[in-house]
């Protein structure tokens, strides 16, 4: 699912940053990438012993590091050069930090989880619907119930408010079918962290000569 998300995200960014969003197929397919990334992240964080093995702190540090590295090309590629919203790695960072605080479970950390959710959701791409989806998936994996499952579907559907379409819900079908797919692919954990800022930098470099020959970027 991460590899599929990577391909869909790349196509979406090619459409957005090089073709001014004029390729609707790539845009619509790209809406599936975020839920896939969030599901894989939440699924792995929900594994037994994650807290005891220090997984949260490692993931938080990596997401923060590569999120900062990606910020320069991300901001430069945006139409307004605005620093807000923060890129998708920060969205994943907010989800990770929120569920970490929930898993610790002490009163202070539960208050911190709510604060991170509320404040972080206002700062990152895809806002609170994305954070809610990631947290709901984590809760569903940790302790399945009809309530958490319904929340997963509702949160994914609520991405309509950002995407203005329901293509993100196609990820739910992919997630449901994934256990039946017997595919062996390399994990290459660090590749996924490094790929995000690297592919943005490449798109920025490609866009420079395109702009010089008169291609318009809005």
Q: Is residue 71 part of a domain?
A: yes
49-89 pLDDT, tens digit per residue, is: 999 999 999 999 999 999 999 999 999 998 777 889 999 99
User: Rounded to the nearest 5 degrees, what angle is found at the Cα of 117, between the Cα atoms of 126 and 131?
Assistant: 35
Distance CA 54, CA 199 (A): 29
Q: Is residue 202 part of a domain?
A: yes
Q: Is residue 218 part of a domain?
A: no
Q: Is residue 217 part of a domain?
A: no
Name beta bridge partners: 86.
124
Q: Percentage of residues in the chain with pLDDT exceeding 70? A: 98
Overall average pLDDT of the 27-42 stretch = 98
Q: Is residue 98 part of a domain?
A: yes
Q: Is residue 179 part of a domain?
A: yes
Q: Is residue 155 part of a domain?
A: yes
Q: What pTM does this model have?
A: 0.94
How many domains does the structure of the chain reveal?
A: 1
DSSP string, 156-188: HHTTHHHHSSSGGGHHHHHHHHGGG--------
Average per-residue pLDDT for the chain: 94
Q: Is residue 171 part of a domain?
A: yes
For residues 60 and 98, is the Cβ–Cβ distance under 8 A? no
Range in 42-56, 136-150, 197-211 the model is least confident about: 197-211
143-173 pLDDT, tens digit per residue, is: 999 999 999 999 999 999 999 999 999 999 9
The boundaries of the domain holding residue 133 are 2-212
């Amino acid at each position: 699912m991460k590899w599929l998300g990577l391909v869909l995200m790349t196509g979406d960014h090619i459409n957005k940053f090089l073709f001014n969003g004029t390729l609707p197929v790539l845009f619509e397919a790209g809406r599936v990438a975020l839920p896939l990334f969030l599901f894989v992240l939440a699924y792995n964080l929900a594994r037994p012993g994650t807290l005891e093995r220090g997984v949260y702190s490692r993931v938080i540090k990596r997401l923060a590091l590569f999120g900062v590295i990606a910020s320069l090309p991300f901001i430069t590629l945006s139409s307004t050069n605005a620093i807000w919203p923060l890129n998708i790695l920060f969205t994943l960072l907010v989800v990770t930090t929120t569920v970490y605080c929930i898993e610790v479970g002490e009163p202070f950390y539960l208050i911190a989880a709510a604060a991170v959710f509320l404040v972080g959701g206002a700062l990152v791409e895809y806002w609170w619907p994305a954070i809610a989806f990631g947290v709901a998936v984590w809760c569903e994996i940790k302790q399945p119930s009809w309530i958490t499952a319904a929340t997963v579907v509702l949160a994914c559907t609520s991405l309509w408010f950002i995407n203005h379409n329901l293509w993100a819900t196609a990820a739910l079908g992919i997630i449901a079918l994934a256990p039946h797919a017997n595919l062996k692919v390399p994990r290459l954990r660090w590749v996924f962290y490094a790929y995000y800022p690297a592919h943005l930098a490449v798109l920025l470099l490609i866009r420079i000569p395109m702009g010089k020959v008169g291609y318009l970027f809005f």
